[in-house]
Structure 1
Amino acid sequence: MEKKKCTLEAEQMVKLYEEGMRTVDIAEIANVSVRYVNLVLLKNNVKRRAKGSWKRKYEVNEHYFKTWSNNMAYILGFFAADGCVNKDLSSISFSQKSIEILEKIKIELQSNHPFVQNPNTGVYTLGIHSKILKEDLMILHGIQPNKSLRIQLPTIPEPYLSHFIRGYFDGDGSIYKSRNCVCIVSGSRDFSISLYEIFKSHNLKPRLKDFETYYRIYITGLDNISLFANWIYQDKDLYLVEKYKRFLEKQALKS
């Protein structure tokens, strides 16, 4: 059996515990057992809180995913790409190399939860303990634990569709520097087909390619890329700056 790889240093676990995070949540983020976290705290002579004395230190708008808005649609799309619903705990998490977009999402969610950076990959994770957020993502929007291969496109009101697509693209999309091509990746066949049909309906002339374990949707040509960009960035608020700049560079080539 492959050994789990710890994603946090001991001092990071200690810091999170001293800031008020529960050992079960630290264990989830660190990819280790609660017993391992307890051993780390013991080894570092950390003063333990009395059992049952934990009080919620971190805040979040737990009902955020109940009401549609441009930003909610974006965050839902971003979560569909780079988020995780914990199977065993009442928590969700966002992961990304760009801490800037996670900071904006954190503000939008009215959260004060801390970021944790994986020392091996440099990826930042925003973990949020909330039973309500987890249930709303699962029940209202159909995003389940271990979603990668079986996620379905949520039912999205038309006015918010472009914002959802922008969020998903910021998580699992790319725009090539050397080629006039945009690509979106998903491990789910149903999700990929749904996106493909949406892109067809917007005259983006997409191509869907099956790579057996994952799927790619391609949009090629400066005209189609410009059409795609104009659509997903209309009325934008939340977005990855680096990707938007690449679209601007492509549009400059077209003019």
Structure 2
Amino acid sequence: MGGRRWTEQEKEILISMNNEGYNYAEIAKKLGRSLYACQQMGEKLGLRGDRNVNDEFFSKETEEKYYVLGYWLADGCIMKKSGGYYFSLVSNDKDHLEKIAEIMGVKTKIYKNSNSAYELRVGNKRLVESLINIGCSFRKTKTITINDISFDKKYFYMLLRGFFDGDGGYVFQGFTKKDGTKGLSSIKFTGSENMIKSIYEYLGYGTLHKDTRKSDCYYLSFYGDEMRELLHKMYRNSTIHLERKYEIYKQALL
């Protein structure tokens, strides 16, 4: 490591603050050192990463893990920049990101990005490495498929629910019923050709459509009994979901 030599007192402060739950940005400010230098020394000393998230979140087999993983496959990324590793989720639903942040133990703030959407971003090397260990990658947009992810089949519909909440939607009938509501005509998943085709092949049913408005983008649609069966498998007994989509499911199909 370059820069000035670390004193034993600085190392003790670093260890103490890390154990007390301070993140490396706060430690760097306290010591007057760069974020990268503190992260490197922390790794050399065998310390845990920033306590700004439960960095074991993706290492345990839970409904929450697979739901967030599916949501990440739709609307997330992982990055390595300025010597740090970052996990990111983007959504127009701030309340939902706050719910995800809570179950992940995220302590960083949610903010608006340059596209006026909300972003949950947390810098934590261990969290990012745990995602990479189950098949996720830094540049996933047009390459990753459902087959690249390691998961037990019993969690598939939890993962799919997360993906649907991120990049899926309901299609309503064109007419209004007497009670003022509209019935569902179909649901659809949207994403890259590789991802959508891999979901189609995994399920073994559905209808594929190419999105002519965007290059390398496909729809996977479900109608009638197939739609109802798939929604029940995704949402029935779920404990985490996007509320507005879950409410449509309840009103239309329960």
Q: TM-score, normalised by structure 2?
A: 0.71
1:195 equivalent in structure 2:
199
Contact 1:82 1:94 in 2 (8 A): yes
Partner of 1:213: 216
Alignment-mate amino acid for residue 228 of structure 1 = L
Change (3 A) 1:21 1:97: farther
What are the ranges of 5 or more consecutive residues in structure 1 without an aligned counterpart?
1-19, 23-46
Q: Does 1:122 align with 2:111?
A: no
Question: Kindly, what percent of the aligned residue pairs are identical?
Answer: 23
How far did residue 52 of structure 1 move? 4.0
8 Å Cα contact 1:151/1:188 also seen in 2 = no
| 1:74 and 2:67 aligned | yes
> 2:192 is matched by which residue type in structure 1?
G
Q: Structure 2: any 5+ residue segments left out of the alignment?
A: 1-22, 40-48, 174-183
> C-alpha displacement at 1:250, in angstroms?
2.8
- Report if the CA contact (8 A) 1:91-1:128 is conserved: yes
Q: Which of 245, 248, 251 is the aligned partner of 1:246? A: 248
Pick from 13, 32, 45: which aligns with 1:50? 32
Q: What secondary structure, in the 3-state scheme, does the structure 1 residue paired with 2:241 have?
A: coil
Query: Measured at CA, do residues 21 and 214 of structure 1 come closer, stay the same or move farther in structure 2, by a change above 3 Å?
Result: farther
**1 or 2, which has the higher strand percentage?**
2
Do the aligned residues in 1 keep the contact of 2:50 with 2:123 (CA within 8 Å)? Answer: no
2:106 to 108, 111, 115: 111
Larger Rg: 2
User: Which residue identity lines up with residue 52 of structure 2 in the other structure?
Assistant: E
Task: State the superposition RMSD in angstroms.
Answer: 2.7
TM-score with structure 1 setting the length: 0.71
3-state secondary structure, aligned to 1:143: coil
Give the direction of change, closer, same or farther, for the CA distance of 1:155–1:51 in structure 2 (3 Å limit): closer
Aligned ranges for residues 161-172 of structure 1 at < 5 Å? 161-172=156-167
Counterpart selection for 1:227 from 229, 237, 246: 229
Structure-1 separation of matches of 2:163 and 2:57: 18
1:69, 1:58 → 2: CA distance? 21
What is the rounded CA distance, in whole Å, between the counterparts of 1:151 and 1:186 in structure 2?
Answer: 11
Determine if contact 1:181/1:218 at 8 Å carries over to the other structure.
yes
What are the superposed Cα offsets for residues 130-163 of structure 1, whole Å, 9 maximum, x if unpaired? 111111111x222112211001211221221110
1:173 corresponds to 2:168 = yes
Match of 1:86, SS state, is strand
Over 6 Å off, 4+ runs: 53-57
Query: Which whole-Å CA distance do the structure 2 matches of 1:177 and 1:49 have between them?
Result: 58
Matched pairs, number: 203
How far does residue 21 in structure 1 lie from its aligned partner after superposition? 8.5
Q: 3-state SS of the aligned residue for 2:163?
A: helix
Within the alignment, does 1:136 sit opposite 2:139 as a pair?
no
| TM superposition shift of 1:234 | 2.7
Q: Give 1:80-119 correspondences, 5 Å limit.
A: 80-88=73-81, 89-118=84-113
> Could you tell me whether the CA contact under 8 Å between 1:181 and 1:220 is conserved in 2?
yes
Report the 3-state secondary structure (helix = DSSP H, G, I; strand = E; otherwise coil) of the residue aligned with 2:33.
Answer: coil
Distance (Å, rounded) in 2 between the aligned partners of 1:245 and 1:73 = 21
Shift of 1:209: 2.0
243-252 or 156-165, larger mean C-alpha shift: 243-252
